[in-house]
Structure 1
Amino acid sequence: MSQDRFHDTIAEIDRLNAQDPNMENKDGKSIPKELLYGQRMSTMLLEFDQNASETLKIAARGQHIQRWTIPRDSYPMDRKGYLMWRTELKKIHGKLVSSIMEKYGYPPEDIQHVDYLINKRRLKTDPETQCLEDVVCLVFLKYYFGEFIAKHAEEEEKIIDIIQKTWKKMSDKGHEAALKMGHSDKALELVQKALS
């Protein structure tokens, strides 16, 4: 029963994320952006923590569920606006995933735990919240960092600042995994500058 409800929950998250109108190219195929992101989160979680709990796996897959429904520009385009946008998104992602879990018969404590993880409560003190944050950062560094560097090529200070902020959120285990990744020469140079 447990495996069935787990698979049904993951399938429902994917079904909703497959509605993303924003596409990303992977191996020559166009894939809805948040569907691909959720799959990358699951893959990275399994690489990073083979013993991840069922609730952590659900939180990782649902981390960005239907993210496109609240565009970034619906909030002021400054740091404060960005933080407000992120807070609102986390609440919505938590509620959506909670409603899916409820539909498939998860107990309230599991639902509450996933909402807690998605909202990143007690980062640095809760091991599963920290694990999820590490996975978020690793997915960014592996799949989106190169694109970020290209987009902000003229703003080296901004890139270094983002690396430093990302690094601060991660655990020692996360740092170790990040440094083992195959980065481009440019990315490595920026990481070294940020960490020196």
Structure 2
Amino acid sequence: MGTSEKLMEAFKRFDEANAEDPNKEVFEGREYPKELLYAQRMTHILNAFEPEASEALQLTVRCQHICRWEIPRESYEMNRVGYLKWRQELKKFHAQKAGAILKEVGYDDGTVERVQFLLLKKQLKKDEDTQTLEDVICLVFLMYYYDPFIHKHNDDKVISITQKTWKKMSPKGHKAALGLSFSNRGLELVTKAISE
């Protein structure tokens, strides 16, 4: 199986797993399993942001939230400590789940380990692929999930989250983010957050 065939087979398996998501999201009049739609958006943004992305990064981007619903946020304490613990457990869960699929598809140990390294978000700001992954995650949030988010939270919380998001991004990510189409309210809050 050639590289591109393996990549497509891995995407297919990741998508089949994410298609089991019982949570749904309606986009442009059509209902999707939430994590399947998220994974496809991640690939779409990566292709625009970093068209020459390594194969390991392409794989990571597609499976970054794989089967996320299996570990619900509510299964941890609803405070900062619980949130951080949930996020850490999710990273390990995604790495294990993705690794098993990649081995079934026929990827070598080096590729599997690289994808797992990226899923664990190791060496942010130091590793180029980890940083690109983080930029893509932030861009997907800002493009598709920011407006719904600002309607659910007060301005102070939105500004704080926007600032934390901005800090994780590279200058290239900042430039791409400023080129996104925000609602008037979204643009106002982003502008306020990054100017403070």
1:167 maps to 166
The residue identity in structure 1 corresponding to 2:46 is: L
Matches of 1:164 and 1:6, distance apart in 2: 35
1:88 maps to 89
Residue 110 (structure 1) shift: 0.5
Matches of 1:188 and 1:143, distance apart in 2: 14
Percent identical: 50
The residue identity in structure 1 corresponding to 2:185 is: K
Does residue 1:191 correspond to 2:180, yes or no? no
Matches of 1:94 and 1:88, distance apart in 2: 10
- Secondary structure of 1:24's counterpart equals strand
- Secondary structure of 1:181's counterpart equals coil
1:108 maps to 109
Residue 4 (structure 1) shift: 1.6
Coordinate RMSD, CA, aligned: 0.6
Residue 114 (structure 1) shift: 0.2
The residue identity in structure 1 corresponding to 2:163 is: Q
Matches of 2:3 and 2:179, distance apart in 1: 35
Q: How many residues align?
A: 194
2:70 maps to 69
Residue 192 (structure 1) shift: 1.3
2:156 maps to 157
- Give the 5 Å matches for 1:118-137: 118-137=119-138
Matches of 2:81 and 2:127, distance apart in 1: 26
Matches of 1:31 and 1:45, distance apart in 2: 20
Q: Which moved more, 1:127-136 or 1:3-12?
A: 3-12
Residue 195 (structure 1) shift: 1.2
The TM-score, its normalising length taken from structure 2, stands at 0.98
Matches of 2:183 and 2:30, distance apart in 1: 23
Q: Which runs of 5+ in 1 are unaligned?
A: none
Matches of 1:104 and 1:15, distance apart in 2: 14
The residue identity in structure 2 corresponding to 1:190 is: L
The residue identity in structure 1 corresponding to 2:167 is: K
The residue identity in structure 1 corresponding to 2:159 is: I
2:8 maps to 7
Matches of 2:132 and 2:4, distance apart in 1: 22
The residue identity in structure 2 corresponding to 1:25 is: V
Q: Which runs of 5+ in 2 are unaligned?
A: none
Matches of 1:32 and 1:96, distance apart in 2: 18
Residue 102 (structure 1) shift: 0.6
Residue 11 (structure 1) shift: 0.2
